[in-house]
Amino acid sequence: MAESHEIIGKKRKKKRSHMQMAKKFARQRSSGNELDKDTYQYLIRVLELMRAGFPTSEEKLMYVQNVYQETVGHEIEYAQNQVGSRVMDSLLKYVNLETIQRLVKALESSLRKLSSNRFASHVLQKIIMVCADRGNRISNISTTEKTTINKTSTEAEDGAADAVIEVKYAEVKIYNDIVLKLSRYYVNNMEEFIFDTYANHVLRTVIECLAGLIENADSEDNKKSMPCLASRRPVVQEYSDLLVQCCDRLQKWPQFLEFGQNEVTSGLVQCVLYSLKDVDSDLTKIIITKISKKCFKPGEDGKLSDIFNTECSIRILEVCLMVATPKSFKKLYKMFFAGNLKHLCLTRSTNFSVQKLLDHCSTKEELEMIFDEVSEYFPEILKQGFTGILASAGNACLRLQIKQGAFVSAIIKLLECGASTQDQMQLVPCTVTLKSLAQLKDLPNDQQPPFNLHGSLMIQAMLQFNKPIKIVNSLLEMNNEELLRLFGDPKGSRILDAFMDSKYIGEKSCEKLFKKLRDTWAELAKSTHGSRCLDKVWAWARMNHKLLIMDELAAAGESLRLTKSGRIIFTKLNLSLFQRSKKEWSESQGKQEKTRALFANIIGNVSEKS
């Protein structure tokens, strides 16, 4: 049996780390604002030490305080240097209130210049994020709790607890005052900063933080195009008031009508839209109306609106769809999409807009109209390779509980696997590769077609439909080698999750799948994604199933330890005890089951299918 955990293909070239780039600049000495050689080398050593870690969190905090003490009198100089900015940015989450106050005081005299600096602007963003984070963690705590302390701990790469910062209740207002003071400065000078690339991003951070879209201070991922709206925090009223004032002033500015034509200003408009959502629905509606009626011309005589002319304006439309009320959504659909879906589906720059249209449609009536039109073009969409539309259509049918049978029939027709009952058994192999039955049959026996992400997402959606029988039968028709390859693949492994979690798939089908996976457990355990699938089945399995799995793992023996995933499974399932004594192992499992049953009302019973 082929080892599914081996990764075949060309290795992607790794990007240089910040440390490698810093050392390169140390040799070239051209890294923005020049620092003297000793200072520059000191800052590089700081980054190296922080990356290596410290024995205790206390030592780490003490070291960070010492580093910031070294910056006294040189804050502006360091902030404008690439490595200096990196040090100040990455260490800010570990400094106390006093240090942040000193840093803000040192920088505020040069805010205008620093906001437009490619390096210093990141430090300003981090100050706002850290202060907003600390000022809005305990907003629901009673004001009578005068000495309440809120601790923030991050998790180090090795899983150990990182340094802990204490935020006293008395400090909360001070942190918020810092945010509000800086925010008012940017709001009052908004017209000056909007068209500057770096200052514009500081302004976006201000708007997001005022809206409660506050990133964790330890987050290193600054590449996200949009924060998670589900993690919006409750914030003090002053934040909300300033946010509404800022956004209202922005939309009343005459130049607002041109913001959709520029990438930098388009990003700011998008930020305003998703920040206002759930904060001020009336102002959100006003801005959407202005964008759709005044910023862009509606399509006439079969021509598309000019909103589709540039990528930056298309992104604004997509965010409008995301934040619109059902009534506004309907107007956007009729104004920009109705009657134009064929062209939009088959054009590279606009097919993502159709995906967003499907993803954020919230009424059955609207989806029915959209689906009826889009499904006609499934063959052409597949030919063009814009298969995200197919996945979005499937998820929309699942979410709104409509057109599910029509979607399955459309996919069967699209992949030409419905001529007979036997052909329908190939629905899953065809869908997960997005190849027709004829294309699969034409492949040489030794050639395995790659799995398609959108195909996998479609199967996951269809498994959760009200009547998933065709997909279930097709999956259970696959042999264990095919299932091993599917579940060991990053794109295919989530299919098993959908199968086990679906409330419309019964116990008998799960039993059949378990039997199909016989002789694959050891191979699944050795791969990253396969071992996760094994975990999923284990959570469902009863003791007789677990014993069968353990017999196979025990037969594999030490070979399990050859991979990281295998070693984890070996330890987690206590395979060494099973090999010594099945009776003792069964008794230990029984104790675990009793403990889990005691706390079932708290943690939920994961082994039961609803």
Q: Which two tokens stand for residue 369?
A: 């109209």
497 HSE (CA, 13 A, CB side) = 14
The amino acid at residue 358 is L
CB 193 within 8 A of CB 203: yes
- According to DSSP, the residues that pair with 164 across neighbouring strands are 153
* % residues pLDDT > 90 (the chain): 69
Residues 293 and 342 reside in one and the same domain: no
C-alpha distance from residue 570 to each of 79, 217, 348, 578 (Å): 49, 36, 47, 10
Task: List, in sequence order, every beta strand (DSSP E) within 103-160.
Answer: 149-155
Q: Which range (51-55, 314-318, 537-541) has the least confidence? A: 51-55
Site of tokens 């959760």: 464
Rounded CA-CA distance 275/268 in Å is 10
314 HSE (CA, 13 A, CB side) = 18
| Mean per-residue pLDDT, 311-340 | 94
- Total domains in the chain come to 5
pLDDT score recorded for residue 216: 67
Residues 132 and 70 reside in one and the same domain: yes
Q: What phi and psi values does residue 56 have, to the nearest 5 degrees?
A: -135, 160
In a domain, 145, yes or no: no
In a domain, 536, yes or no: yes
Quickly state the pLDDT bin for 21 (edges 50, 70, 90).
Answer: low
Quickly state the pLDDT bin for 85 (edges 50, 70, 90).
Answer: very high
Q: With 50 as the cut, is the pLDDT of residue 384 above it?
A: yes
Quickly state the pLDDT bin for 289 (edges 50, 70, 90).
Answer: very high
In a domain, 87, yes or no: yes
Residues 357 and 331 reside in one and the same domain: no
CB 272 within 8 A of CB 252: no
Q: With 50 as the cut, is the pLDDT of residue 28 above it?
A: no
In a domain, 144, yes or no: no
Residues 183 and 80 reside in one and the same domain: yes
pLDDT score recorded for residue 56: 86
Q: Which of 514, 536, 564 is the endpoint of a domain? A: 514
Rounded CA-CA distance 265/208 in Å is 15
Residues 90 and 202 reside in one and the same domain: yes
Q: Which two tokens stand for residue 108?
A: 């505020």
The amino acid at residue 520 is T
Residues 378 and 423 reside in one and the same domain: no
| Mean per-residue pLDDT, 505-520 | 95
In a domain, 171, yes or no: yes
pLDDT score recorded for residue 166: 85
Which tens digits make up the pLDDT trace of 545-583?
999 999 999 999 889 999 999 999 999 999 999 998 998
Rounded CA-CA distance 561/567 in Å is 5
| Mean per-residue pLDDT, 530-542 | 94
In a domain, 20, yes or no: no
Site of tokens 């699969």: 440
**161-168 vs 149-155, strand pairing mode:** antiparallel
Q: Which of 184, 202, 236 is the endpoint of a domain? A: 236
* Continuous H helices in 136-189: 169-188
C-alpha distance from residue 263 to each of 8, 269, 311, 364 (Å): 38, 10, 8, 34
In a domain, 529, yes or no: yes
DSSP-based three-state secondary structure for 417: coil
390 by Cβ neighbours in 10 Å (0-12 / 13-18 / 19+) ranks as: buried
Residues 83 and 190 reside in one and the same domain: yes
| Mean per-residue pLDDT, 191-211 | 95
Nearest to 356 by CA among 469, 257, 270, 465: 270
pLDDT score recorded for residue 7: 34
pLDDT score recorded for residue 147: 46
pLDDT score recorded for residue 14: 54
Q: Which two tokens stand for residue 272?
A: 């305003």
Quickly state the pLDDT bin for 26 (edges 50, 70, 90).
Answer: very low
Mean pLDDT, the chain, rounded, equals 87
Q: With 70 as the cut, is the pLDDT of residue 297 above it?
A: yes
| Mean per-residue pLDDT, 145-163 | 49
Q: With 70 as the cut, is the pLDDT of residue 157 above it?
A: no
Q: With 80 as the cut, is the pLDDT of residue 597 above it?
A: no
Give, for 168, the enclosing helix (H) or strand (E). strand 161-168
Rounded CA-CA distance 291/272 in Å is 12
Q: Is the dihedral of CA 294, 257, 290, 296 positive or negative?
A: positive
Residue range(s) defining the domain that contains residue 534: 518-597
Residues 42 and 181 reside in one and the same domain: yes
Q: What phi and psi values does residue 451 have, to the nearest 5 degrees?
A: -75, 150
C-alpha distance from residue 469 to each of 132, 340, 405, 452, 463 (Å): 50, 35, 11, 22, 8
Rounded CA-CA distance 144/277 in Å is 32
| Mean per-residue pLDDT, 17-46 | 66
Question: Cβ atoms within 10 A of the Cβ of 109, count?
Answer: 10
Q: Which of 480, 499, 514 is the endpoint of a domain? A: 514
Q: With 90 as the cut, is the pLDDT of residue 337 above it?
A: yes
Residues 57 and 181 reside in one and the same domain: yes
Residues 51 and 174 reside in one and the same domain: yes
Rounded CA-CA distance 411/536 in Å is 28
pLDDT score recorded for residue 588: 85
SS (H, E, C) 280-296: CHHHHHHHHHHHHHHHC
Residues 114 and 194 reside in one and the same domain: yes
In a domain, 17, yes or no: no
Q: Which range (9-23, 348-362, 515-529) has the least confidence? A: 9-23
Residues 344 and 442 reside in one and the same domain: no
Non-local (6+) Cβ contacts of 385 within 8 A are none
